[in-house]
Amino acid sequence: MTVPLNVPARSLPVPDTVSPGMQALIAAPLRAGWNTFPTTPDGWRALAEASLAAARPDVAAMAERLRVTIEPGTIDGVRVHTVTPPSIAPEDRDRLIVQIHGGCYVLLPGEAGLPEAMLIAAFGGFKVVAVDYRMPPEAYFPAALDDAMTVWKSLSSAGDARRIGLIGTSAGGALVLAMGLRAKRDGLPMPGAIASGTPMSDITKTGDSFHTNAMVDNVLVSTDGFCDAAARFYANGHDLRDPLLSPVYGDMAGFPPVILTTGTRDLLLSNTVRVHRKLRALGIVADLHVYEGQSHAHYFRDDRIPETAEAFGEIASFFRTHLAA
């Protein structure tokens, strides 16, 4: 029987090795409501609608700063937004990025899910199609993945899939990995590259950082918090170890190159590291970027700080290296 390590209570200073803007994010208190969540389907719906209303002004301001245009639409019945940067280099005009938003499978509908799409469009100079997938209580697992795959089938059949990259963070980071598993299962083409940010790759609460970074990550805070309840609400009684919910348990042989992003205080650091090691063991090109002091997805919380430009510059460079011209 293994004996757990007992660690004394301690205070964690804010690192001075990051920008002032990132220091402010790291120094923020634990996210409000991290351990409270709705108990009815209508409550979850109302929370998603509130997240959209709260995000709209910030999304509009970010779009103006980044000078991107946003056009809503549908692809084979699935809601999408097309995000276009002010200019696209000639070598990137035939490339496309598909973005799958996060939000623990229950938050960030509509424009609220667009910051990551805007950032890779602006810092990478790519056209981006952002998928606004159905969420509970409108639809449960595997609705989000089904919608993402509907868009993928349409876009990949219309051109060279090797020119298309997938990007997603948190729940979106898990979904882009699950898209690779589903494409493999269904005999569909693989994307040219995948960017999976701090993925919810194992929602069974397995992994060292679920313990070491509990109450340190000021975004997710704890495995017993909001995001765990939200993922279970989405799963709707399904086996949480199913690779389409926890893709770290899937067969990733044959995957395209993958870039993974996380931070030293991220509750999902282990989720990210375990995917990286699995890909490397299979001989797949896989880059792991771990940023100083960052909690869950801090790297895209503010487009005005250097860490955001750095992270999305790395992702853009990875896409430019691995997507077909």
Question: In this predicted model, what pLDDT tens digit does every residue of 261-291 receive, in sequence order?
Answer: 999 999 999 999 999 999 999 999 999 999 9
- The predicted model gives 91-96 an average pLDDT of 96
CB neighbour list of residue 62: distance below 8 Å, 6 or more residues apart: 115, 118, 303
Tell me the per-residue pLDDT of 139-162, one tens digit each, with 9 for 90 and over: 999 999 999 999 999 999 998 999
CB of 210 within 8 A of CB of 216? no
Mapped onto helix, strand or coil, the DSSP state of residue 167 is strand
Helices 171-186 and 143-158 pack at an angle, to 10 degrees, of: 60
Tens-place pLDDT, residues 194-243: 999 999 999 999 999 999 999 999 999 999 999 999 999 999 999 999 99
Decide if domain 86-100+136-322 falls under CATH 3.40.50.1820: yes
pLDDT computed for residue 159 by the predictor: 86
Written as one letter, the residue type at 267 is L
Q: How many of the other CB atoms lie within 10 Å of CB of 320?
A: 18
What residue spans define the domains of the chain? 86-100+136-322
169 strand-pairing partners: 197
Render pLDDT for 40-93 as a digit per residue (tens, 0 to 9). Answer: 999 999 999 999 999 999 999 999 999 999 999 999 999 999 999 999 999 999
Q: How far apart are the first and last CA of the chain?
A: 54
Under 8 Å CB-to-CB from 51, ≥6 apart: which residues?
A: 103, 107, 108, 109, 112
Phi-psi region of 161 (alpha: psi -120 to 50; beta: other; left: phi over 0): alpha
Residue 205 CB neighbour total at 10 angstroms: 12
Task: Count CA atoms within 13 Å of residue 107 on its CB side.
Answer: 19
Side-chain half-sphere exposure of 89, counting CA atoms within 13 A: 11
